[in-house]
Structure 1
Amino acid sequence: MTRLKVLLACVSVSALAACASGPAQVSMRGPVGQNYSLFDTRTSYGQFLAGQAALRDGNSKEAATYFGTAAVLGEDPGVIAERSFTALLLSGEISRAAAAAPTEAGGTEAIRRLGVLTRVVEALALGKGKEAQALLKSDPPGFPHQQAVALLGPWAAAAAGDKEGAIVQPVLRNDKLVQYFGQQGQARLFERAKRYDEAETDYKALTSNAATASIFTLDYGAFLERRKRYDDALALYDAALRAAPNDTGLLRARARAAARSAPPSAPTLRQGAAEGLIACAATFAGERQNQFALAYLRLALRLDPGRDEAWILVGDLLNQGDDHQAAIEAYGRVPAGAPLYASAQSKIAWAWSALGDKTKALDVARAALTAAPNDRDAAVALADLLRASSRWDESVAVLDLLLAREAEAPDWRLLYMRAIALEQGGRWPEAEKDLQTALKVNPDEPDLLNFLGYSWIDRNERLPEALAMVEKAVAARPQSGAMMDSLGWAYFRLGDYKTAIEKLEAAVELEPGDPDINGHLGDAYWKAGRTIEARFQWQRVLSLEPTDKQKADSEDKLKNGLGLSTPATKSTIAHN
């Protein structure tokens, strides 16, 4: 597992308020002078509205252009200045954002605080450590930036030449992130001051803690390698690999230490400060505060533009905001040959898929796997894209190779993925075997229980056992419409139409737009003699963008009703 994955899995903070929002609900884009029917973009207010729409849609660069034009045209300068600053920050134009940061009282306090943090980062980026330290002391940004202020403080002190301030471990009450990353920063600054024993004490504390060992092992190992303590580094990596034998980062580090190759350099002041901001960004992302997360990542990249994991996180956030083209650009900043290159290229492939270009997506995914044939993530991404393109056998072939490499300890997720491709490709006996193997590895996994249970129900096989399995799945995920549908369909197969209707109605409430579930409810209504309601549900299926098969099945039922020999509709598989 990469540091990026561990970081995202381990850090969490309470929900934070969004830094900026706007009332405009108009989604309009275009250069100055285009003729829009809802507003005139030639006016300052029109530019402002266009900027608001672009910002809300995740198009930060476009928004910054609109807001800049609005400011020149000269109406409502305070609000426009705040929105312009936000757009510049989110688009990564940190120098311009720092210059535009609101500094006077009377504006939005949240934006002013973010502006102070931006100015601190810009000062650090320009090597103005005393200015950065002075800003943090004289005008420290308050909520929700306390973590960033605490983590940046020692690095700003070091940049200002304050040797004592640089080695003070930051503390924030009841804050584990500041505790752990503050101690990591202290270790690095101790090393920078050639106080190696104290640095190692910090690293040992971090790597002996089960909650943080996986995050900081590579840092401690690199420290040992820089001290030419290769055997100690190898012992550290070997211990970590026993817990995570497929961790590519650990494997690379171990190979480097074994070869006595040059270790990673100690981080610069800018790089050390950037890492704290990335950790804060991960907490925001984990709490779905995506604007803050993106802003912090942009600040981190101003300090350390070569930080690949930060570019990947930026791409992920842009993808979530449906700005797939900008996400592709962010992922593309990870250079060929970098440890995260294959992962970044795989994410580019998914972004192309989201843009509707499946051919391009598959070409990129194949190239990513070719560039890193042993990269697990690249193989998984290609297999999943092939499956999404209904190329079942090709997806299975990729997963076959991957599972063969992990035969001694198969990952249930890979078995699940292969089972889906096998089932959709008409190879049910093989899919059934994979599902049963996966359940031996993870017997309580709701997705596995639902898929295998429903598949047996669909085939009228092992109904009591299948019913128990989907009941267990629903108990684990009662808000899953697909799993509730499986339970209703089990009762349908058992002839208990009253209970089937109860469960299927609940499933439709949970997933009102699912054609399969609506069709199942129609079938249950028909069997219970409620033919008008049945026809309504079948008619509704036709309005829900059904597949060709779903459409044909519903049209046939509307014409002929539901005969005793009518087969069940296609399997409903719950996906996370």
Structure 2
Amino acid sequence: MRHKFNLFLLSGAALAMALSLAGAPRAATPEGKPKDETVTFEPAKVQSFAGAFLAARTADVDHDYPTAITLYRKALEFDAANLEIRERLMISLFLNGDFDEGLAEAEALKDDEAVERITTIVRGLDAIRDGRYDEAKKLLAYDGSNDLDKLTHSLISAWADVGAGREKQALQSVRSMDGPEWFKVFTEYQLGMMALVAGDAGTAREHLTAAITNQDAVATAPDTFMRGVMALARLEAAAGNKQKALDAISVGDEMISNYAPLKALRESIENGDKPAQQVSDATEGAASVLFSIGAALNRQGAEDMVSLYLQVSHALDPESADTLILLGGIAEKLEKPERAIGYYEQVPAGSPMRRISELQLGLALAGSDQIEEAREHLKELIAADPSDIRSYLAYGSVLSDAKDYAEMASNYDKAVEVIGPVPKQGDWTIFFQRGIAYERLKKWEQAEPNFKKALELNPEQPQVLNYLGYSWVDMNRNLEEGLDMIRRAVELRPDDGYIVDSLGWAYYRMGRLEEAVTELERAVQLRAGDATINDHLGDAYWRVGRKLEAVYQWNRALVSEGEDVNREQIKEKIEKGLPPLDPDATTAKNGAAEPEMPAPPPATEPDKKS
């Protein structure tokens, strides 16, 4: 199945925000926290402990933290000593960004072993924030066996030493820390920042250089890697070493291309500026520990845990733009658009990441069906900086959703002009999207060279392999090469139901029906609720004589998600079945001449190489 491809504004695996957002822009509350969605539930009507608790858990599961907090407090009115309710209330407060209120609950629960990991950390961080460094050290002492907890406690404890003026002790404690090799991904950056806060530029330079030359850092913790790059560049700029600062930025460009904040930093340094460091004291240093670990853990299914790290980091360092961006991205994943927009709007106007938040705003307008406003907003951003490739990607995403493929093609034509004759590997997305635009305009002679260029720049990109391979099979061209491309895409993305569907449907189009059934059954297992895949499996079942199962799959297609299937055609198939095969069909091997491939369904997970 040819399908849409989610694009990234940023290239880091954690900091990158997918270019899809719903909801309209909203102002932040006076306290600086984002407004959340309107609460329709009325907690005042709850008149029992069970009702309050069950409603609170429902809100909690739905990530509606304001409602959950209100209802947990309501439940405590009926049972003030209930530990489970207090635990969930504390966590909900932290997840909602209410650090001080959550801290009060943490103090009350400090002897509760069930939440000791949380209460110890937040109490230690509060002590650092208040300058009670020796108390923080005592709280953060750790003798357990969990590597992640050991790393977190040890690094924050070292920042307490920095705050107390014991910089040499802090550096020595981190250097002597026992642990797996991946610790260095985090410790080298933290050592560099500790040395910077202590005023030791030479030691800072040594550790930051080690941080950005660690190949594992790019894959394991890209956000921390980029923080290290930018810290080293700022260090060199402050020392008057302009060329060395630009060299550090070039290392970042080489590893993660088109990173907008790095571009802004380069321009600042080229203008002779000496930008301030992101971490300037022990409190911001402790916040950076939580940011680094939270960002590295940021993946599907870990939103609550990551949010907890990031919310506490945000409480200690509220001006951190990358923390706000990550919190916004998590809110998007949780389908809380107003909350996400609130975080984006808090990004400081002078931040290198401000443009990213503006791009997200344009996408948010489109997601809330304010299409014309979104188009105008994004066109203004392109006009303000025509060299920013992400602007074209954001605008192209809106145009694709609106099915304005002519304007989409024109947009990417302009982007290719900006790229020039020697594109970088990271530019493959531009050519891929331009290929899709021309393919949808039925201008294959212009689409195909763009797909080939995208593969030239990124030969193992599964989405491109899938799209080009299926297009060839669909048009009865380059059949074996196209099939090999789809097979390779499946090898690279074995759990992507859409790509597995491509392989099954390609077999179907080529008349290899038993193989088609095998792959389409697997695709349905991977994407059970997709109408197009269910429809495809129904067709394959019918052709191999499994007609009852075919009708069952077509019925599932009718009630499944997917706006691009022809539901009237499916109803006709349920009533009459498929027509006999046309012996004169031009499809490969006279196998299964069927309707043309539908328009792309919703995208799969975004590719991490973007």
Q: So what's the TM-score if we normalise by structure 2?
A: 0.80
2:274 paired residue number = 262
Residue correspondence of structure 1 range 347-362 to structure 2 within 5 A: 347-351=360-364, 362=375
* Counterpart residue identity of residue 375, structure 1: D
Would you say the 8 A contact 1:271–1:304 is kept in 2? yes
With over 3 angstroms needed to count, the CA separation of the structure-2 counterparts of 1:357 and 1:246, relative to structure 1, is closer
Task: Tell me which residue corresponds to 1:486.
Answer: 502
Q: Aligned partner of 2:263: which letter?
A: L
Within 5 Å, give how 1:253-402 maps onto structure 2.
253-265=265-277, 267-286=280-299, 288-351=301-364, 362=375, 365-366=378-379, 368-369=381-382, 372-402=385-415
Aligned partner of 1:132 in structure 2 is 136
CA distance in 1, matches of 2:186, 2:490: 39
| Residues 110/572 of structure 1: CA separation in 2 closer, same or farther (3 Å cut) | farther
Matching residue of 1:113: 117
The correspondence of residues 99-110 of structure 1 with structure 2, limited to 5 A, is 99-102=104-107, 107=112, 109-110=113-114
The separation in 2 between residues aligned to 1:245 and 1:460, in whole angstroms, is: 37
- TM-superposed CA distance for 1:58, in Å, is 1.0
Distance in 1 (CA, whole Å) between partners of 2:253 and 2:564 is: 49
Aligned-pair CA distance for 1:328: 1.6
Higher relative contact order (CA 8 A, sep 6+): 2
**What's 1:24 paired with?**
none
Q: Which residue identity is paired with 2:246?
A: L
Q: 1:98 to 1:370 in 2, by over 3 A?
A: farther
Which letter does structure 2 place at the counterpart of 1:189?
M
For residues 262 and 197 of structure 1, the distance between their equivalents in structure 2, rounded to whole angstroms, comes to 18
Q: How far 1:229 sits from its partner (Å)? A: 2.7
Give the whole-Å Cα distance in 1 for the aligned partners of 2:294 and 2:255. Answer: 27
Match of 2:535 in 1: 519
Counterpart of 2:336, as a letter, is: D
Matching residue of 1:432: 448
Q: CA deviation at 1:415?
A: 1.9
Aligned partner (choices 164, 167, 189) of residue 171 of structure 2: 167
- Look up the equivalent residue of 1:122 and give its one-letter code: D
- Please state if 1:80 is matched with 2:90: no
Q: Aligned-pair distance for 1:241?
A: 4.4
Q: Work out the number of aligned pairs and report it.
A: 552
Structure 1 window deviating more from structure 2 (205-214 vs 332-341): it is: 205-214
| 1:146 paired to 2:150 | yes
Aligned 8 A contact 1:120 1:135 in 2: yes
Q: Does 1:158 align with 2:162?
A: yes
C-alpha distance 360-90 of structure 1, shift in aligned 2 (>3 A) = farther
Letter aligned with residue 242 of structure 2: Y
> Which consecutive residues of structure 1, in runs of 5 or more, have no partner in the other structure?
11-27, 35-40
- Give the equivalent residue in structure 1 for 2:476: 460
- Local SS of the residue matching 1:471: helix
Check if 1:234 corresponds to 2:246: yes
Residues in 2 aligned to 1:503 and 1:241: alpha-carbon distance in whole angstroms: 40
Corresponding residue to 1:198 among 203, 212, 223: 203
SS of equivalent residue, structure 2 residue 172: coil
1:570 to 593, 597, 601: 597
Deviation at 1:514, TM superposition (A): 3.0
For the aligned residue pairs, the C-alpha RMSD in angstroms reads 3.5
Structure 1 residues 245, 29: closer, same or farther in 2, change over 3 A?
Answer: closer
The change in CA–CA distance for 1:191 and 1:287 in structure 2 (over 3 A counts) is same
Which deviations, in whole Å up to 9, do the C-alpha atoms of 1:143-202 show, x marking residues without a partner?
753222111112111223434433334154334554343333333333333333333332
**Cα distance, 1:201–1:294 mapped onto 2, change above 3 Å:** same
Q: How far apart, in 2, do the equivalents of 1:336 and 1:192 lie?
A: 25
Q: 1:354 to 1:204 in 2, by over 3 A?
A: same
2:53 is paired with a residue whose SS is helix
Residue matched to 2:231: 219
CA distance in 2, matches of 1:184, 1:529: 62
Q: Structure 1: how far apart are the matches of 2:383 and 2:142? A: 53
8 Å CA contact 2:106–2:119 kept in 1: the answer is yes
Aligned residue number for residue 17 of structure 1 = none
Which residue does the alignment assign to 1:404?
Answer: 417
Partner in structure 1 of residue 14 of structure 2: 8
Structure-2 separation of matches of 1:115 and 1:105 = 6
Identify the residue that residue 89 of structure 1 maps to in structure 2.
Answer: 94
AA aligned opposite 1:224: E
In structure 2, the CA distance between the partners of 1:371 and 1:336, relative to structure 1 (3 Å rule), is farther
* 1:504 alignment partner, one of 513, 520, 535: 520
Give the aligned partner of residue 69 of structure 1. Answer: 74
Most deviating of 353-362 and 211-220: 353-362
Is the alpha carbon distance of 1:97 and 1:502 closer, same or farther for their aligned partners in structure 2, counting shifts above 3 Å?
closer
Paired letter, 2:140: L
Describe the superposition over 1:297-332 as per-residue Cα deviations: whole angstroms up to 9, x where unpaired: 111111110001001111112222222221121122
Q: Report if aligned partners of 1:383, 1:399 keep a CA contact under 8 Å in 2.
A: yes
3-state SS in 2 of match to 1:174 = coil
Structure 1 residue 278: Cα displacement: 0.3
Question: Whole-Å Cα distance in 2 between the matches of residues 130 and 387 of structure 1?
Answer: 57
Shift of 1:548: 6.8
Structure 1 residues 397, 144: closer, same or farther in 2, change over 3 A? same
2:543 and 2:109 map into 1 onto residues whose CA distance is 71
Q: CA 1:43/1:413 → structure 2, altered by over 3 Å: closer, same or farther?
A: same
Question: CA distance change for structure 1 residues 231 and 548 in 2, over 3 Å: closer, same or farther?
Answer: closer
Hey, what's the Cα distance between the residues in 2 that align with 1:6 and 1:483? 24
What secondary structure, in the 3-state scheme, does the structure 2 residue paired with 1:168 have? helix
Of 433-442 and 550-559, the range deviating more from structure 2: 550-559
Q: Which runs of 5+ in 2 are unaligned?
A: 1-7, 17-38, 219-224, 586-592, 606-610
1:32 aligns with 2:25: no
* Residue among 458, 461, 482 paired with 1:442: 458
Q: CA deviation at 1:367?
A: 5.4
- CA displacement at 1:264 relative to structure 2: 1.5
Give the Å deviation of 1:356.
Answer: 6.0
Q: 1:522 to 1:53 in 2, by over 3 A?
A: closer
CA–CA distance in structure 2, aligned partners of residues 287 and 200 of structure 1: 35
TM-score (norm 1): 0.84
